């Protein structure tokens, strides 16, 4: 029996049919990128379901649901910017993961109340799924020397940090400082860091929407308010209500505080700022009619400039 067609269950479409779908159903134009180049793009560079996620940058529609003022080229350009940005964010995220591990191991080494094993044992007993993944799943990784696996039976702080994914590691990080009643810092920001890290790692689209739909991180907003960004509290609060902008800002804030190599820190922020001033605005004329996109860009660039100035004196 054939499946009933619904909005969530559309039939398989060939590239020419997708072009027709864009024109006749979605109302997209092909002025910035003509139909022939669009067909080549869909055949060789990207698939439509992924590109379709960027429809969210346009909020202007007809009553029938067709987009007004949205061109196929807008989606292509946004997807390209997204790709470059994800790569930069992932680099920052894995650097930050390393710095957090360094801090945890360092604090363990300097903590006279910690033998390195008791807290790990307590954490694994409280988190049996993590314990199971370390004993079984870790064996699937093929780049470690066999002698490394002997530590999975009774791991210590300094080796368990290499046995967990980022989600489990941040849970252990928080557990450690609660266990010894120490100040670990930044644990409230871990959810934001984890979201953007995972999005970048899994190659997820991140520039899909700039509509506020949450409360931003309070500590980071207060930091921005004290930074003379030239924006009102209301504007900052609104922009931080956009999930990506909140997580992006939190990542920068924690990264600047945690990075232990000044030269790497400065180089990284310099590269991000150059991207915002260069490739990201290469086709800024495309988005003149997209208020949410322009506001998001101005806010994000101001945030990058703010943290770049902070590291300039490091």
What's the pLDDT score for residue 3?
Answer: 46
pLDDT computed for residue 1 by the predictor: 41
| Residue among 298, 247, 208 at smallest CA distance from 93 | 247
Please give the pLDDT value at position 6: 43
Dist CA 240 CA 237 (whole Å): 5
What is the model's pLDDT at position 132? Answer: 87
Give the pLDDT confidence score for residue 147 in this predicted structure.
Answer: 65
Cβ burial of 229 (10 Å; 0-12, 13-18, 19+) is: middle
213/247 Cα distance (integer angstroms): 13
pTM of the model: 0.90
Q: Over pLDDT 70: what percentage of the chain?
A: 93
pLDDT at 143: 60
Residue 241: what pLDDT?
97
**pLDDT one-digit tens code per residue, 223-282:** 999 988 889 999 999 999 999 999 999 999 999 999 888 899 999 999 999 999 999 999
Decide: helix, strand or coil at residue 14.
Answer: coil
* 3-class secondary structure, 289: coil
pLDDT of the residue at 4: 44
Give me the residue spans of the domains in the chain. Answer: 22-96+210-314, 112-181
Determine the 3-state secondary structure of 9 from DSSP. Answer: strand
* DSSP H helical ranges for the chain: 15-20, 35-44, 48-52, 72-110, 118-126, 128-135, 157-160, 166-179, 190-201, 218-225, 233-240, 243-258, 262-277, 291-312
- What is the pLDDT, as a whole number, of residue 186? 83
pLDDT under 70 in the chain at which residues? Answer: 1-9, 137-148, 314
> CB–CB of 253/259 below 8 Å?
no
The rounded Cα 57 to chain-centroid distance in angstroms is 18
């Amino acid at each position: 029996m054939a499946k009933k067609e619904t909005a969530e269950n559309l039939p398989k479409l060939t590239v020419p049919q997708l072009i027709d779908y864009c024109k006749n159903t979605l109302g997209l134009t092909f002025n910035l990128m003509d139909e022939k180049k669009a067909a080549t793009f869909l055949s060789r560079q990207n698939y439509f379901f992924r590109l379709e996620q960027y429809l969210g940058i346009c909020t202007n529609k007809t009553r029938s649901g067709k987009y007004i003022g949205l061109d196929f080229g807008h989606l292509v350009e946004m997807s390209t910017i997204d790709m470059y940005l994800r790569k930069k964010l992932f680099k920052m995220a894995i650097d930050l993961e390393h710095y957090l591990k360094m801090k945890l191991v360092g604090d363990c080494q300097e903590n006279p109340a910690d033998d390195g094993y008791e807290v790990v044992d307590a954490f694994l007993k409280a988190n049996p799924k993590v314990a199971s993944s370390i004993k079984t799943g870790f064996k699937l990784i093929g780049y470690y020397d066999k002698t490394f696996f002997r530590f999975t039976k009774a791991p210590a702080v300094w080796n368990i940090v290499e046995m967990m994914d980022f989600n489990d590691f941040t849970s252990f990080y928080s557990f450690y400082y609660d266990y010894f009643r120490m100040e670990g810092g930044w644990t409230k920001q871990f959810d934001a860091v984890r979201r953007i890290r995972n999005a970048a790692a899994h190659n997820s689209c991140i520039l899909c929407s700039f509509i506020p739909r949450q409360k931003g991180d309070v500590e980071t907003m207060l930091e921005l308010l004290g930074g003379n960004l030239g924006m009102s509290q209301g504007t900052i609060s609104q922009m931080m209500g956009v999930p990506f902008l909140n997580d992006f800002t939190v990542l920068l804030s924690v990264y600047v505080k945690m990075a232990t190599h000044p030269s790497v820190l400065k180089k990284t922020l310099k590269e991000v700022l150059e991207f915002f001033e260069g490739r990201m605005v290469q086709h800024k004329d495309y988005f003149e009619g997209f208020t949410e996109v322009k506001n998001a860009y101005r806010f994000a660039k101001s945030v990058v400039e703010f943290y770049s100035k902070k590291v300039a004196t490091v």
